Chain A
Amino acid sequence: MLEAIAFYGLAALILGFGVMVITARSAVHSVVFLVLNFLAVAVVYVVLGAEFLAVIQVLVYAGGIVVLYLFVVMLVNQKRTPEAHHDPHRKTGLGIMLASAVLAEVTAIVVYTASAPSASPIPVSSPVVGGNTEQVGWLLYTDYLIAFEVASMLLLAAMVGAILFARRMD
């Protein structure tokens, strides 16, 4: 019962903050709601027994990526709000239709699958005490060694790109 309360509470928070991210008037508000959304997701990870990932979520997402967003929001000190300009050719109605179609479709399919007889409900077992950081680390440096190296290459390439763009123009 406790788990059900936790799940529905967190789900409401995640989706609520998600809606606020995409509906907020100003980008700064959006960033704040994004942090709250990420934190709620991190709590879900703890509930699901992924403590290491929860810590990474807070450190990298909430601590790193979001701060980066904030910096950029401050840097591009906007003279007028982007929403002020209206493009007469913009098909907002079409966008809403497409978006709701995607939402309806994905949810319908997942709900349908989950309610299908082949998918009997599998209860989520209670998390292991002590965490699974060791297992995660073990996998990272054995089966996923190549992926790990490629990720480092990805970050290096991203770094080169970011420095290139952010450097002062001379």
Chain B
Amino acid sequence: MNNLPAIIPILIVVLSAAAAMLAEAFRQPGERMPIAGLGLIGLVGAGAASYFLWDKDAQSFGVVRADNFALFINIILCIIGVLTMVFSNDVVEREDIPGGEYYALTLFAISGMMLMVAATDLLVIFLALEVLSLAVYVLTGIRRESAEGAEAAFKYFLLGAFSSAFFLYGIAFAFTIAGSTRLDEVGKAMASAPHATLAMLAVALLAVGFAFKISAVPFHMWTPDAYEGAPTIVTAFMSTGVKAAAFGAFVRVFLSTLQPLEGHWVPVLAVIAGATMIVGTVVGVLQSNVKRMLAYSSIAHAGYLLLGIVAASEDGKAAVLFYLLVYAVANIGALGIVALLGTAEHPHDQLRDFAGLWRARPGLAGLMTVFLLSLGGFPPTAGFIGKWYIFAAAVRDGYYSLAIIGVLSSVVSVFFYLRIVVMMYMTEEAAAPARPRVSGPAMAGLALAMLATFYLGVLPTRVIEYAVESVKAIV
């Protein structure tokens, strides 16, 4: 049996991380090095490898399985990674971020994310989660002279380490029941469930761990602070990448391994989904900092995605995958624009900073509008199709009240996305420091994200077919 193919995409990303570290080590002080390019090569390679592995169902040592589900999320992660690299090239030097460490840690985080989704062993899922979490904690505080950054990293780390202890205790109980950490063994043991109480304890603790990572209410407290304090480019990366990886593993563990205990966890997750949508939207309306506002918006989106897990039909699972892609493209686009307009002294993250952007930078204002409309769920953007698909799956499964909460919260959330749009178009520019130039590659990345948003909104059938095919791996 050949163990290598299943881990090739992950290996490529790890190698590019190592290359980034080496490049930094041999860099002369003051010399500029295109480290982002190394990352770009690695990510494109990993994406291509994922494409070639499609339908192969390669496995490695029984703990990593590159099935279509993992590969679909791999490709989402590669898109997130490529856009992050393209934007970083503009931002890193301007924001005083140490380049070598930044790129190496970002690539390590991406490899952890890919592994977390492909792993079929709770121990490997946990280790991958730790790789990505530790890298992201450090990235949050990577600007050491920024007090906000240090505080954000500290809060994120403390709550993250606390929640991963709970997650770990849950794995230990699952291991206690099954005598193994392999997902299939755990699933079998759960199905026969001789120690029902221990099984419930395991499920509850695992759910706490996942709920923290996807920032679901009431485990969302770290999200606004971490997203606001981190450099904007890191916020863009973690709000999309961590969510995609955590949701991937969440779907795999809960909808296949813990499926037998569905009766116990579905009602709890349904309540959490409702609360997450409401809190994310209602508190988001009150924010005046754009990063904080988008943090609450990402909490609300975690609620919509949870709704897809609760409505665990084939459609529900495929809707989660599709929505992850839609959300990733729009959110990294919007936060990418905030990052590209900011500098270390002037982060460009207050609502009033966007005043008159239409006059000064019509292209960027237009792109921002598209991404915000997609997040708000307007046709003909991708957000509309994504939300419609999730809510339809929920209604088909009989979760009417949750679907209504979802629709209402989308309507309310439109209000705060439109606040930014109104600011850009209808307000005169205040006296503010000049906004930095945006380079060609970054513009190209934004344009691609916009094309993807329209493509997924107008012609979604093909991608939805792929999503439906990928979730067949999760039974």
Contacts and interface: CB of A to CB of B under 8 A. Distances in A.
Task: Report A-B touching, CB under 8 Å.
Answer: yes
Interface of A: 106, 109, 112-113, 116, 118-119, 143-147, 150-151, 153-154, 156-158, 160-161, 164-165, 169
A153 B123 contact: no
24 contacts: A106-B201, A109-B197, A143-B61, A143-B63, A144-B63, A146-B60, A146-B61, A146-B63, A146-B124, A147-B124, A150-B124, A150-B127, A150-B128, A150-B131, A153-B14, A153-B108, A154-B134, A157-B105, A157-B134, A157-B138, A158-B134, A160-B138, A164-B138, A169-B144
A164 B115 contact: no
A118 B141 CA distance: 50
A133 B195 CA distance: 31
Interface of B (DSSP majority class)? helix
Contacts of B422: none
Contacts, number: 75
A26 to B, nearest CB: 20
Contacts of B61: 143, 145-146
A169 B124 contact: no
A143 B135 CA distance: 26
Contacts of A160: 21, 101, 104-105, 108, 138
Interface of A (DSSP majority class)? helix
Q: Find the residue from A119, A150, A156 having the highest chain B CB count within 10 A.
A: A150
Nearest to A112: B197
B145 A169 contact: yes
Contact of A154 (B64, B101, B130, B142): B130
A165 B127 contact: no
A92 to B, nearest CB: 18
Contacts of B111: 153
Given A146-B7, A160-B21, A161-B137, A153 B198 contact: no
Given A143-B63, A160-B108, 5 more contacts: A113-B197, A150-B124, A154-B134, A164-B138, A164-B142
A136 to B, nearest CB: 14
Contact of B195 (A113, A158, A161): A113
B115 A150 contact: yes
A164 B108 CA distance: 15
B339 to A, nearest CB: 20
Interface residues of B, number: 36
A147 B124 CA distance: 6
B15 to A, nearest CB: 11
The 8 closest A-B pairs by CB, nearest first: A161-B138, A150-B127, A157-B108, A113-B197, A154-B131, A164-B101, A146-B63, A157-B135
Interface in B232-266: none
Nearest to B111: A153
A78 B189 CA distance: 51
A161 B198 contact: no
A160 B137 CA distance: 12
B379 interface: no
Given A164-B101, A165-B141, A165-B144, A153 B60 contact: no
Contacts of B138: 157, 160-161, 164-165
Contacts of B141: 165
A146 B120 CA distance: 12
B357 to A, nearest CB: 34
A147 B101 contact: no
A169 B138 CA distance: 16
B105 A161 contact: yes
A119 B138 CA distance: 44
